[in-house]
Amino acid sequence: MSPPFSKNKGTDMTDEIKEEATALIEPKTETPVKEVAKKVVKRRGPAKKAAEKAETAFEFSDADIQKFKEWKKDKQIIDQVTCDSADDDKVYRRWKEESKLVKGVFRCLDPIGGNIKFAFRKYKWDSTQWYTMFDGETYEVPLAVARHLNNNCNYNVHSHILGADGNPLLNTSGKPKSRMNFESTTFTVA
């Protein structure tokens, strides 16, 4: 079996492939010669691809490729961080503030001494983080997580009261009862 990249009696392989390719591009009149040419091109596919690559390929050094990768990485970071409007600038500043880490003790009040596992993501620049916290242990979390535990993890206590007509009513304006707290051990300047 002869190698597929052998030269034919002094003719250059790339010239032969070019001739075969131009014969295929010409108007589609099916002749036995063109059918044979198609078979030859299919058989010499790797040689044709190598010839096309040699004509259109650019030479890049490893340093050029590395610079391109660094540029692309920097561009992705800039695209993630840049803001499009004034509202986005305000949100971005708030995100920078709330992404600072604070240290504190987690307290689970409902049930007393319990633990929780939750996912948290507040801003589009954040990635979703999973937190598992046990009562009485010290953790270092972003300020946004500490605020979430203190402000959003509560429920209103309802009670029954006697109405003016003597019928019982549900009092829905009860005080909120916290299920959990995050007691900060680091102090921030407001």
Lowest mean pLDDT of 30-39, 71-80, 88-97, name the range: 30-39
- pTM, rounded to two decimals: 0.48
* pLDDT tens per residue across span 77-114: 666 655 556 677 888 888 889 989 999 999 998 888 88
**CB–CB of 44/7 below 8 Å?**
no
- What CA–CA distance (Å, rounded) separates 116 from 104? 16
Q: Which runs of E-coded beta strand occur in 33-112? A: 101-108
The domain ranges of the chain are 13-56, 99-184
